[in-house]
Structure 1
Amino acid sequence: MIKALAAEIISRLNKRVLLFITGGAVNIKEVFTVLRENPLASYGIVMSEAAARVIPGEYIESLKGKIIREKSEMTGEINRADLVVIPVMTRNTLSKVSLGIADNLVTLGISEAVMMNKKILVVKDSFDPENPVNISLGYTKNKYYNQMLLNYCERLKNMGIEFTDAGQLNERLRHALGIKFESSKPPKAEKKIISNILTLEDLLGMGKGHVELCLEGGTKISPLARDYIESNGITIKYLREKE
Structure 2
Amino acid sequence: MNLELFMQNEAFKDALINAIVDEVMRRLQNRPKKALVCFSGAAIGFTEVLENLVALKSKGWELTLFASEGAKAALPMEHIQKTLKIDKIYDETDTSAQINLFKDKELMILATTTVNTAAKLALGICDNAMTTLINHGLMAGIPTICVKDGADPDNAVRSKLGGDRSSPAYRQMMVDHLQKLEDFGIDCCEAKDLAQVCQHGGPIVQTKPQAAARDTVTSAESTPGHGQVRLVKNLITRSDIME
Q: TM-score, normalized by length of structure 2?
A: 0.65
Aligned-residue identity in percent = 27
Instruction: Provide the secondary structure at the position in 1 that maps to 2:50.
Output: helix
CA positional deviation for 1:44 = 1.0
Question: What is the DSSP-based 3-state SS (H/G/I as helix, E as strand, rest coil) of the residue aligned with 1:174?
Answer: helix
d(CA) in 2 for partners of 1:88, 1:63:
16
1:44 counterpart residue number: 64
Equivalent position SS for 1:145: helix
What secondary structure does 2:98 align onto? helix
Equivalent residue, structure 1, for 2:43: 25
1:97 alignment partner, one of 92, 113, 121? 121
How many angstroms does 1:130 deviate by?
1.1
Aligned to 2:135: 111
Matches within 5 A, 1:201-220: none
- Which is worse superposed, 67-76 or 149-158? 67-76
Q: Residues 90 and 71 from structure 1, CA distance in 2 versus in 1: closer, same or farther, beyond 3 angstroms?
A: farther
Q: Normalising by the residue count of structure 1, what TM-score does the alignment of the two structures yield? A: 0.65
- Name 1:185's counterpart in structure 2: none
1:85 aligns with 2:105: no
Amino acid at match of 2:119: S
* Equivalent residue pairs, number: 172
**Secondary structure, counterpart of 2:150 in structure 1:** coil
In the alignment, structure 1 residue 54 sits paired with structure 2 residue 79? no
RMSD of aligned alpha carbons: 2.1
- CA deviation after TM superposition for structure 1 residue 115, in Å: 1.2
Contact 1:124 1:165 (C-alpha < 8 Å) held by counterparts: yes
Determine which of 194, 197, 202 is the counterpart of 1:172. Answer: 197
Aligned partner of 1:221 in structure 2 is none
* Higher RCO (Cα < 8 Å, 6 or more apart): 2
Q: In structure 1, how many angstroms separate the alpha carbons of the residues matched to 2:90 and 2:159?
A: 34
Q: Which of structures 1 and 2 has the bigger CA Rg? A: 2
CA distance in 2, matches of 1:122, 1:61: 23
| 1:228 counterpart residue number | none
The 4+ residue runs of structure 1 with deviation greater than 2 A are: 64-74, 176-180
In structure 2, the gaps of 5 or more residues are: 1-26, 202-224, 229-243
Using the alignment, how far apart are the partners of 2:55 and 2:36 within structure 1? 16
CA positional deviation for 1:71: 5.9
